[in-house]
Amino acid sequence: MGTWTKPLRRSLDRMVDAELRERFARLNVDVNAYGYDRWGASCDDQLRTLALLRVLHRRYFRVEAHGLEHVPDDGRVLLVGNHSGQLAFDGMLVGSSVFFDKDPPRMVRAMIERFFVKTPVVGSLMTRMGQLTGIQQNAKRVLEEEEGAVLVFPEGARGGGRVWADRYRVLGFSQGFLRLAKRTKTPVVPFAFIGGEEMLPSLSRGEPLAKALGLPYLPFIPWLVPLPAPVKVHILFGAPLHFDGTGDEEDEVILPEVRQVEHAVTELIERGLKLRKGLFA
């Protein structure tokens, strides 16, 4: 990290208290002599990030997690849900829920778009925080070698850059996560993220300009500063889904099972929208 980040790191270090260190220690992360895990994540940077996330989680977005008992205390699991929020606040808050609201806490490793990994500074930060490039090999290693928890948004950039007209509508899941679940014998826990559509509502994906700039999308947000609105967030986790097979089945076999997960997420979204009392309460 450059010297320009030192004041920020010092400020975040002051926010890392005994409670946070105790919860992080319960993750039992294997690190080398320099404090980095096998993926290049820095424990110090993870603690700083968690300190900031705690503020966002508890005070700014006031996250309520429902159904966390469906997320296993240990062992491999795929967390699969709807994507929204433009700037990946959904992934961060799902991870913070499993860390702060679940007992025992778990670390969630999110599969992120390759574009963000390659972005200067952003890519380095995501690596330091323990997030991984969204390819099957990485997810497979986390599941099989670490018995870990992996977060996947099968809508990809379509979901992350969705426009207001498509809010809370599942835009179609890819097959990769389902084949991965079969190959690794991993349960799928569906979830719904409620609040992301209103944080940074986009009226357009800005595709012509985005293409010229080499971006997956360029959201048009109806206010000048692209900061998220303090919408109250609800995250609903559903019962685990189990799928038999090798992962090498024909599309005709896989697609109905993908639709089963889509349906589970859609039902959770509908429950979540009925659950909330308003955007900010």
Domain regions of the chain by residue span:
3-275
Residue 112 has pLDDT above 70, yes or no: yes
Residues 122-133, mean pLDDT to the nearest whole number: 67
62 against 85, higher pLDDT = 62
Angle at 191 between CA 188 and CA 192, to 5 degrees: 155
User: CA 52, 58, 61: angle at the middle one, nearest 5?
Assistant: 90
- The share of the chain scoring above pLDDT 90, in percent, equals 62
Q: 211 or 267, which is more confident?
A: 267
Task: Tell if the pTM clears 0.85, that is, is over it.
Answer: yes
pLDDT of residue 17: 97
How many angstroms separate the CA atoms of 206 and 226, rounded? Answer: 15
Q: Which residue has the higher pLDDT, 246 or 85?
A: 246
If one compares 212 and 177, the residue with the highest pLDDT of the two is 177
> Cα–Cα distance between 32 and 42 in angstroms, integer?
10
Query: Exposed (0-12), middle (13-18) or buried (19+): which is 153, by Cβ within 10 Å?
Result: buried
CATH topology of domain 3-275: Glycerol-3-phosphate (1)-acyltransferase (3.40.1130)
Structure tokens that stand for 62 in this block:
């006031």
Helix (H, G, I), strand (E, B) or coil at 2: coil
Residue 177 and residue 188 in contact, taking contact as beta carbons nearer than 8 Å: yes
